[in-house]
Amino acid sequence: MMSYRFSDRMRRVPESFLGELFRVSNDPDIISFAGGLPSSAAIDVEGITAAAKDVLENEGRRALQYTNTDGFLPLREYIARRYRERLKIPATAADIQIVNGSQQCLDLVAKILVNPGDPVGMESPGYLGAIEAFSLYEPEFHGVPLGNTGPDPDAFAALLSSRPLAFFYGIPNSQNPSGTTYSDTMRRAVARMCEDTGTLFYEDDAFGELFFDGKSRPPVKKYAPEHTIMSGSFSKIVAPGMRIGWLFAPEPIIHEFNVAKQAADLHSNFLCQMILHRYLETHDLDVKVRRVAGVYGENCRLMCDLLDDAGLLHTTPSGGMFLMATLPPRVAAMDVFSAGIREGVAVLPGVPFYVNGGGEDTIRLNFSTATEEEIHEGMERLVRVISGLA
């Protein structure tokens, strides 16, 4: 039997929950609150089909050819214009790099900025996908507790002043996993502390369009443009299967990022970039986003009400796709996960979201995918599981 040799870094990567997450999310007998999928019902199949037909009939040979690493220029111009109009921050196409979903940003940013042993700061709890992506580059993680309005300011200041970080990674809008949104005061404070200490803030804005009230929040980048890089994605607001995201960053970072991107895959799917741009130019994205956010808001309120009825503490998101609940004393999140699968309901334990330990008494719940009926039934199953364990 062949003995395969793998790099040392593969032995240091934490065991992944993402594979199990997608497995249970695709089991038709399980009501899954564990996944991170946007609603399939929100995907405009007809509109995307028409855009694809238009591109293939009129520019098929170009769309099916190789292209440059930066990405389709009209799509980059669209993204930059949206930053200027929606968030009132200066942006040009030269500031934008198209990627294979914002998940690729996590990998390539760490690749160009992190040496083994370098300190990387994160919210605690933090996004599981980021922890796994960064782990391949062997950083030293430092978690900062996340409160109701953002990172604990004293802990954040202490971390930034104690050591030079490769970067601090955060999700100011509807954070994954907690659903927390930074206050404007916290955004300004984070920007000020990053500028004062020369720290780079990695602002993951995957959920910035999905506020239930339809109002945009100013990004940290508005207050510290040279000390902030932002990633964004069309996965949550158009179609995740197209795998189109982007990085918005200062020119020196874009340059190095482009080098790493070119070595990784030459360029992102050009056909999907052209189809997506054609779709965006012929449809009102704001109308679509408001409709999707409205549905998510109703689902979130329903789930929060059911958690209240069960006497469980939880976060109360103002947008996004996730919330976190705290379990009763002596009920372990991993036990809830295992017993939930047997009962036909899936949640994600909080443990893998903590880089320095914790989360044993928390679970993450997704409210974007399930229907109202599924939320009612799934929450009944979950409450039975928790009550049985308690």
Tell me: pLDDT of 256 over 90. yes
Distance CA 151, CA 109 (A): 22
Distance CA 121, CA 116 (A): 14
Confidence of residue 29 (pLDDT cuts 50, 70, 90): confident
pTM of the predicted model, to two decimals? 0.95
355-374: per-residue pLDDT in tens? 999 999 999 999 999 999 99
State the DSSP string of 295-307: HHHHHHHHHHHHH
pLDDT value, residue 334: 94
For residue 15, the 8-state DSSP code is: P
Average pLDDT over residues 141-162: 97
pLDDT value, residue 262: 98
H or E element in which residue 82 lies: helix 73-82
Distance CA 228, CA 169 (A): 10
370-388: per-residue pLDDT in tens? 999 999 999 999 999 999 9
pLDDT value, residue 28: 79
Q: What is the CATH number that goes with domain 8-44+286-389?
A: 3.90.1150.10
Distance CA 259, CA 137 (A): 17
Contact between 156 and 108 under an 8 Å Cβ cutoff? The reply is no
pLDDT value, residue 8: 87
pLDDT value, residue 21: 66
Which is nearest to 138 in space by CA: 304, 286, 276, 12?
12
pLDDT value, residue 18: 65
Distance CA 156, CA 231 (A): 21
With a pLDDT cut of 90, the percent of the chain lying above it is 92
Contacts of 123-126 with C-beta under 8 Å, sequence gap 24+, read: 123/151, 123/169, 123/170, 123/171, 123/175, 124/353, 124/354, 124/355, 124/356, 124/358, 125/177, 125/178, 125/324, 125/350, 125/353, 125/354, 125/358, 125/359, 125/362, 126/169, 126/353, 126/354, 126/355
How do the domains of the chain map onto residue ranges? 8-44+286-389, 65-282
Tell me: pLDDT of 23 over 80. no
Residue with the larger pLDDT of the pair 24 and 200: 200
92-114: per-residue pLDDT in tens? 999 999 999 999 999 999 999 99
Distance CA 23, CA 26 (A): 5
Distance CA 263, CA 178 (A): 35
**Coil vs helix vs strand at 36:** coil
Distance CA 300, CA 178 (A): 13
Which is nearest to 348 in space by CA: 111, 96, 19, 123?
19
pLDDT value, residue 13: 78
Instruction: State which amino acid sits at residue 53.
Output: K
Confidence of residue 160 (pLDDT cuts 50, 70, 90): very high
pLDDT value, residue 105: 98
Average pLDDT over residues 78-102: 97
Distance CA 35, CA 111 (A): 27
Neighbours of 77 (CB within 10 A): 16
For residue 125, the 8-state DSSP code is: S
Tell me: pLDDT of 24 over 80. no
Instruction: State CA 52 to chain mean position distance.
Output: 27
Q: How many residues does the chain have?
A: 390
Q: What is the CATH number that goes with domain 65-282?
A: 3.40.640.10
Average pLDDT over residues 241-252: 98
Q: Residue 328 has which token pair?
A: 């009763």
pLDDT value, residue 109: 98
pLDDT value, residue 20: 66
Confidence of residue 11 (pLDDT cuts 50, 70, 90): confident
261-292: per-residue pLDDT in tens? 999 999 999 999 999 999 999 999 999 999 99
Contact between 192 and 365 under an 8 Å Cβ cutoff? The reply is no
pLDDT value, residue 180: 98
